[in-house]
Chains A and B, each alone.
Chain A
Amino acid sequence: MAALSTFVEHYNYVITVFLMVTGLYIVVARSNMVKKLVGLGIFQTSVYLLFLEPAKIVGGTAPILEPDFTMYSNPLPHVLILTAIVVGVATLALGLALVVRINEAYGTTEEDEIFGGGHDL
């Protein structure tokens, strides 16, 4: 019962960790380079959640000084993650550009074929 209540109270973290591990697994297990990048994206996104979840307070507002509001959500993690999203987008764009170039050079985006399948690497 205690385990169940821990799970329910922290279900958001469970989801975060699930996404994290899923993403990492895809990067390791898939041979297709585009799929690897998808996995990488999921992995990075899970970290955005890790930062954002604790920053949100239910019923909290943006930190605007106004007598009507007394409970604020911390804005800093949101700003940080905005930066991290930009970094993530840049990484994804560069990764996809590389995959396009690899496809032109090798005629495939499967890592197995590049490393094993008769291509002279």
Chain B
Amino acid sequence: MNAALPHLPALQVVIPLLGAVLAAFLRRGAFAFAVALVVTWILPFVSAILLWQVLASGPISYAIGGWAPPWGIEYRVDVLNAFVLLLISGVGAVIMPFARRSIDFELPESKEAWFYCMYLLCLAGLLGVTVTGDAFNAFVFLEVSSLATYALIALGPDRRALVGAFQYLLLGTIGATLYVIGVGFLYLLTGSLNLVDIAARLADLPDGQWKTVMVSLAFVTVGVSLKLALFPLHAWLPNAYAYAPSWVTAFLAATATKVAIYLLVRFYFSVYGVAFDWRALPVGEAFIVLSVAAMFIASAIAVFEPDLKRMLAYSSLAQIGYITLGIGLANQAGLTGGLVHIVNHALMKGALFLALGAIFFRVGTVQLADLAGIGRKMPLTMVAFSIAAFGLVGTPGTSGFISKWYLAVAALDAGRWPLVFLILASSLITLIYIGRVLEVAWFRPPTPAIAHAADPPLSMLLPLLVLAAATIYFGFDTRLTAYVAGTAAQTLIWGLR
């Protein structure tokens, strides 16, 4: 164990990567699931130790293959990415047991092993993007995770999943390519790909080359925004989420967009922010405007959406708006709120999509019209759903309240009090689409179509309840979320010029 300690940053990526190969060779769904389960349950311990080390003794630098940075690829763990690593591996570990029954139900046996292989590749990619300190390495991992994601979405039971995956492939590839163009400009200017090194070299860049940095900033912003589905670059998300297998949707909603947001924060605050005041450009303003647009337009679409999975997909767009709003405000409270909401949204959306997965498992549909009275047939599932849904609205006592509180404080700190009303107003729209579902689920008599529905087996119910409980727990005890996010935000803000 002690011998493994210095290599934890690399193990974070190597373990799922090896697991993916193993799962592909095993060929049997049950064996592949066992591999995926073991791998996913080891990873949170790795990232928890990393976070603990980083909080205790500062950033960890790991030279891949022994090549010293900036020449070799550096894995660099600080509070921010240790936090994101723990979130991804933690959520993955909690929802993993749900996959067995749900995937067994939705996918043919012959594809199950490949499914777990793809999932582990996706996980390796996501963790890789988060842990790496190298701009090009981040691109490679981004594409590893994205390619696996396209395949995962295409496995959906409906033929529309294929079209959704194809659209995502086009837009995702364009996003990644734009990101590479941005990185290319940085490389041409500084001759380095190591993020810390780029930042240091940008800081003493001669005047007259700033135009190139700004162009690079624009390319990276648009490229990564495509990946994180910032409104109006979100066109791929609703179809991809709606037609992917239920469990995949829960996993992606909780992790994939979050990693893209992390990458954006990393570039803004640790690379561009160190070199020049990117807030002097209208980047922050643009983010605030687009975030508010997402909060309202996506929520409004969600109100009229009959398919619950699509409804929650649009809701995700709105919630991503809250996170990018905090980044756009770029002050201590805003960044803390944004980072906390990354965690809180992951927990709540994970719970909501898992609940839909459980409903699909029992009833075979997630159309709102068919689910009258489902709360009486599947009480525990719908209780978990309701708790997470109230978290989404931002009800006090749930974790959603904490993030919105920080965002409101951030808006006041920045002297933008109209934003506080906009946050409140968009929460009310959230209440409308959530209320619509809760009304149908709890207050209508059950229809004959769902007469035989019952709560799902324990392996599916437990992850759901754990996530719902976490939504409440992090609404009261914010030591883990808000404290760590605050520390990360502080480090980032200090780094700004």
**Closest approach, in angstroms, between the C-beta of A114 and any C-beta of chain B?**
6
Query: Looking at the complex, which one of A27, A40, A80, A101 makes contact with B154 (CB distance below 8 Å)?
Result: A101
When C-beta atoms are compared, the residue in chain B nearest to A54 turns out to be B188
Check if B159 is an interface residue, CB within 8 A of chain A.
Answer: yes
Additional A-B contact list (6), CB under 8 Å, known A27-B170, A43-B177, A47-B184: A43-B174, A44-B173, A80-B136, A84-B139, A95-B166, A102-B166
Check if A21 is an interface residue, CB within 8 A of chain B.
Answer: no
Check if B482 is an interface residue, CB within 8 A of chain A.
Answer: no
> Are the C-beta atoms of B151 and A94 separated by less than 8 Å?
yes
Q: How far is the CA of A24 from the CA of B140 in the complex (A)?
A: 21
Q: How far is the CA of A83 from the CA of B143 in the complex (A)?
A: 11
Check if A87 is an interface residue, CB within 8 A of chain B.
Answer: yes
**Closest approach, in angstroms, between the C-beta of B194 and any C-beta of chain A?**
12
Interface size class of A (residues with CB under 8 A): 20 to 34
Question: Contact mask B148-190 → A, CB, 8 Å, 1/0?
Answer: 0011001000011011011001100110010011001001100
Q: How far is the CA of A101 from the CA of B214 in the complex (A)?
A: 41
Interface size class of B (residues with CB under 8 A): 20 to 34
Check if B438 is an interface residue, CB within 8 A of chain A.
Answer: no
Measured between beta carbons, the chain A residues less than 8 angstroms from B180 are 47, 84
**Closest approach, in angstroms, between the C-beta of B319 and any C-beta of chain A?**
26
> Are the C-beta atoms of A121 and B174 separated by less than 8 Å?
no
Measured between beta carbons, the chain B residues less than 8 angstroms from A47 are 177, 180-181, 184
> Are the C-beta atoms of B150 and A105 separated by less than 8 Å?
no
> Are the C-beta atoms of A94 and B169 separated by less than 8 Å?
yes
> Are the C-beta atoms of A87 and B154 separated by less than 8 Å?
no
**A36 with B170, Cβ < 8 A, contacts A47-B177, A101-B162 known:** yes
Chain A residues with CB under 8 Å of chain B are: 24, 27, 33, 36, 40, 43-44, 47, 50-51, 54, 77, 80, 83-84, 87, 90-91, 94-95, 98-99, 101-102, 105-106, 114, 121
Measured between beta carbons, the chain A residues less than 8 angstroms from B181 are 47, 50
Q: How far is the CA of A94 from the CA of B184 in the complex (A)?
A: 25
Question: Contact mask B20-57 → A, CB, 8 Å, 1/0?
Answer: 00000000000000000000000000000000000000
> Are the C-beta atoms of B170 and A40 separated by less than 8 Å?
yes
**Closest approach, in angstroms, between the C-beta of A83 and any C-beta of chain B?**
6
When C-beta atoms are compared, the residue in chain A nearest to B146 turns out to be A91
**A98 with B160, Cβ < 8 A, contacts A44-B173, A47-B181 known:** no
> Are the C-beta atoms of A106 and B140 separated by less than 8 Å?
no
> Are the C-beta atoms of A98 and B162 separated by less than 8 Å?
yes
Check if B147 is an interface residue, CB within 8 A of chain A.
Answer: yes
**A121 with B160, Cβ < 8 A, contacts A36-B170, A91-B143 known:** yes
Q: How far is the CA of A34 from the CA of B207 in the complex (A)?
A: 45
Dominant secondary structure of chain A at its interface with chain B: helix
27 contacts between A and B (CB under 8 A): A27-B170, A36-B170, A43-B177, A44-B173, A47-B177, A47-B180, A47-B184, A50-B184, A51-B187, A54-B188, A80-B136, A83-B136, A84-B139, A84-B180, A87-B139, A94-B147, A94-B150, A95-B170, A98-B154, A98-B162, A98-B166, A101-B154, A102-B159, A102-B163, A106-B159, A106-B163, A121-B160
> Are the C-beta atoms of A27 and B162 separated by less than 8 Å?
no
> Are the C-beta atoms of B169 and A95 separated by less than 8 Å?
yes
Query: Looking at the complex, which one of B151, B166, B187 makes contact with A99 (CB distance below 8 Å)?
Result: B166
> Are the C-beta atoms of B169 and A98 separated by less than 8 Å?
yes
Measured between beta carbons, the chain B residues less than 8 angstroms from A43 are 174, 177
Measured between beta carbons, the chain B residues less than 8 angstroms from A98 are 150, 154, 162, 165-166, 169
Measured between beta carbons, the chain B residues less than 8 angstroms from A36 are 170
Measured between beta carbons, the chain A residues less than 8 angstroms from B188 are 54
> Are the C-beta atoms of A87 and B184 separated by less than 8 Å?
no
Q: How far is the CA of A91 from the CA of B188 in the complex (A)?
A: 26
> Are the C-beta atoms of B162 and A33 separated by less than 8 Å?
no
**Closest approach, in angstroms, between the C-beta of A105 and any C-beta of chain B?**
4
> Are the C-beta atoms of B169 and A91 separated by less than 8 Å?
yes
Q: How far is the CA of A77 from the CA of B193 in the complex (A)?
A: 11
**Closest approach, in angstroms, between the C-beta of A85 and any C-beta of chain B?**
12
Query: Looking at the complex, which one of A44, A54, A84, A114 makes contact with B163 (CB distance below 8 Å)?
Result: A114
When C-beta atoms are compared, the residue in chain B nearest to A92 turns out to be B173
> Are the C-beta atoms of A40 and B162 separated by less than 8 Å?
no
When C-beta atoms are compared, the residue in chain A nearest to B153 turns out to be A98
**A40 with B174, Cβ < 8 A, contacts A87-B140, A91-B147 known:** yes
**A121 with B163, Cβ < 8 A, contacts A27-B174, A47-B177 known:** yes
B104-138: which residues lie under 8 A (CB-CB) from chain A? 136
Measured between beta carbons, the chain B residues less than 8 angstroms from A24 are 174
> Are the C-beta atoms of A105 and B140 separated by less than 8 Å?
no
When C-beta atoms are compared, the residue in chain B nearest to A74 turns out to be B191
**Closest approach, in angstroms, between the C-beta of B140 and any C-beta of chain A?**
6
When C-beta atoms are compared, the residue in chain A nearest to B168 turns out to be A98
